């Protein structure tokens, strides 16, 4: 399954080392301080004064980083992820934090739901979707899920002026906004030759201008956004979007 093997393997390795998140945390309560929760936390009370009766969906929830925080704030939450191991860890994290929310294994490219929610969160998933069609499907799902006045929060990688942290790594190749990676051949990925290496497309790293165009074409407009020019190896776009 597209996008599956590398993510599932990564979570299996984390679980084997008693880690409880993509970033290698060991304490579930530390997830509340994660950069995505800090970014959401800056404006969530402004956009949603009361969370009573409000619903949120977390796409690419992983081990529940954003979903757990939204549940703690009072939203009724469902977190979706492709990886069974991630969802198993997310459920364990929820139980340890005594939070009541749902987690489901699902490929967001084929989710079917009639649910309507107030908030959709892109939990650093969009940059994992490298094909144009998959990214369009992500935006369509978000659009269909949202109530008319609902908001989509994006947290996604943006190309930085200095991409050397990516290009200096032997297992990565960066070309035309796609970060390619080498990996075990048993992974069912879209293998290809790029710059003399056998790699698969791993991340889509857009520019702000390209992302703004994509957002517009998907039927959204930006209510507020902030681009942190370089967090770690790339920039990060944090944006609150509404339907146009």
Ligand X SMILES: C[S@@+](CC[C@H](N)C(=O)[O-])C[C@H]1O[C@@H](n2cnc3c(N)ncnc32)[C@H](O)[C@@H]1O
Q: Minimum distance between the CB of residue 19 and ligand X, rounded to whole angstroms?
A: 11
> Which 133-192 residues touch ligand X, going by CB under 6 A?
none
Yes or no: say if 78 and 54 are a contact pair by the CB < 8 Å rule: no
Q: Which two tokens stand for residue 126?
A: 């969009």
Contact region for ligand X (CB under 6 A) — 107-115, 175-183, 214-222, 228-236? 107-115
Nearer CB in complex with ligand X: 141/146: 141
The string of DSSP codes covering 47-116 is H-S--TT-EEEEET-TTTHHHHHHHHTT-EEEEEES-HHHHHHHHHHHHHHT---EEEE--TTS------
**Burial letters for 48-61: b for 16+ Cβ neighbours within 10 Å, e otherwise?**
beebeebbbbbbbb
Question: What does the per-residue mask of binding to ligand X show for 192-211, with x meaning CB under 6 A?
Answer: --------------------
Q: Is 81 in the site for ligand X (CB under 6 A)?
A: yes
Residue 195: burial class (beta carbons within 10 Å; 0-12, 13-18, 19+)? exposed
> Closest CB to ligand X belongs to which residue?
62
Yes or no: say if 124 and 36 are a contact pair by the CB < 8 Å rule: yes
Yes or no: say if 202 and 130 are a contact pair by the CB < 8 Å rule: yes
Q: Minimum distance between the CB of residue 2 and ligand X, rounded to whole angstroms?
A: 7
> Which 12-71 residues touch ligand X, going by CB under 6 A?
21-22, 36, 60-62, 65
Block residue for tokens 């190309």? 159
Contact region for ligand X (CB under 6 A) — 12-20, 101-109, 171-179, 226-234? 101-109
Q: Is 220 in the site for ligand X (CB under 6 A)?
A: no
Contact region for ligand X (CB under 6 A) — 38-46, 95-103, 123-131, 168-176? 123-131
Torsion, Cα 25 26 32 34, to 10 degrees, reads -10
Block residue for tokens 């993509």? 22
Contact region for ligand X (CB under 6 A) — 40-48, 103-111, 211-219, 224-232? 103-111
Q: Is 109 in the site for ligand X (CB under 6 A)?
A: yes
Nearer CB in complex with ligand X: 200/221: 200
Yes or no: say if 21 and 33 are a contact pair by the CB < 8 Å rule: no
Nearer CB in complex with ligand X: 4/191: 4
- Applying CB under 6 A, which residues contact ligand X? 3, 7, 21-22, 36, 60-62, 65, 80-83, 86, 107-109, 123-125, 128
């Amino acid at each position: 399954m597209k996008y599956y093997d590398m993510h599932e393997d990564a979570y299996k390795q984390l679980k084997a080392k008693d880690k409880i998140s993509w970033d290698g945390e060991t304490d579930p309560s530390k997830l509340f301080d994660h950069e995505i929760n800090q970014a959401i936390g800056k404006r969530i009370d402004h956009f949603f004064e009361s969370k009573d009766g409000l619903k949120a969906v977390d796409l690419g929830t992983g081990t529940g980083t954003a979903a757990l925080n939204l549940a703690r704030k009072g939203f009724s939450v469902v977190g979706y992820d492709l990886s069974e191991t991630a969802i198993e860890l997310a459920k364990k994290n929820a139980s340890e934090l005594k939070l009541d929310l749902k987690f489901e294994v699902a490929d967001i490219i084929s989710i079917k739901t009639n649910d309507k929610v107030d908030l959709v969160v892109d939990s650093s998933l969009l940059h994992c979707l490298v094909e144009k069609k998959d990214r369009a499907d992500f935006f369509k799902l978000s659009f269909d899920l949202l109530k008319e006045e609902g908001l989509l929060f994006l947290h996604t990688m943006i190309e930085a002026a200095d991409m050397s942290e990516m290009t200096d790594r032997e297992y990565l190749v960066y070309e035309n906004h796609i970060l390619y990676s080498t990996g075990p051949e048993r992974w069912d990925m879209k293998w290809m030759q790029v710059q003399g290496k056998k790699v698969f497309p791993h991340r889509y790293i857009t520019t702000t201008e390209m992302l703004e165009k994509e957002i517009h074409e998907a039927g959204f407009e930006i209510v507020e956004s902030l681009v942190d020019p370089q967090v770690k190896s790339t920039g990060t776009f944090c944006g609150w979007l509404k339907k146009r």
